Amino acid sequence: MYIVAVESHFDAAHYLRGYQGKCENLHGHRYRVAVKLSSKELDSVGLACDFGDVKSALKPILARYDHSLLNDVPPFNKINPSAENIARTIYEEIKPEIGGASLKAVTVWESPESSAEYTED
């Protein structure tokens, strides 16, 4: 099995509704995002999937969040912009855009030490 990962980032502000503590206040993160895909096969070039195709799929998704107040951007106007919810939302948004290799997980880091991963496995 081959695992391919592509990373990117976006900058955004957020606050957590209902959170008791400092994260209920408006603050910002440079969110790091990793998309992982798997494939049992390689194509004739030797690729499980082209990094460029994954980057192209991820770019417009993250552009909607970049330099925003996430709490104003659907679906985070309805659900909290936690790292978990952001990871699942990106997973659901990128899944139909990716053909061939199968999507395994999306990980979102709020800081170098703290991340959440969403997978269907």
Ligand X SMILES: Nc1nc2c(c(=O)[nH]1)N=C([C@H](O)[C@H](O)COP(=O)(O)OP(=O)(O)OP(=O)(O)O)CN2
Annotated binding site for Zn(2+): 14, 27, 29
Strand 27-39's sheet: what is its strand order? 68-69, 2-14, 27-39, 102-111, 114-118
CA atoms 53, 64, 85, 108: torsion sign: positive
First to last CA, the chain: 15
Site string (22-61) toward ligand X, x via CB under 6 A: -x---x----------------------------------
Q: In Å, how far are 32, 40, 43, 103 from 8, measured between CA atoms?
A: 6, 25, 24, 16
Using CB under 6 A, which of the segments 43-51, 65-73, 95-103, 108-116 binds ligand X? 108-116
Applying CB under 6 A, does 84 fall inside the site for ligand X?
A: yes
Using CB under 6 A, which of the segments 58-66, 67-75, 79-87, 98-106 binds ligand X? 79-87
Out of 34, 61, 82, 94, the only residue in the binding site for ligand X (CB under 6 A) is 82
H or E segment to which residue 90 belongs: helix 83-94
Annotated binding site: 14, 27, 29
Catalytic positions, please? 23, 67, 110
Query: Contact residues for ligand X (CB under 6 A)?
Result: 16, 23, 27, 82-84, 110-111, 114, 116
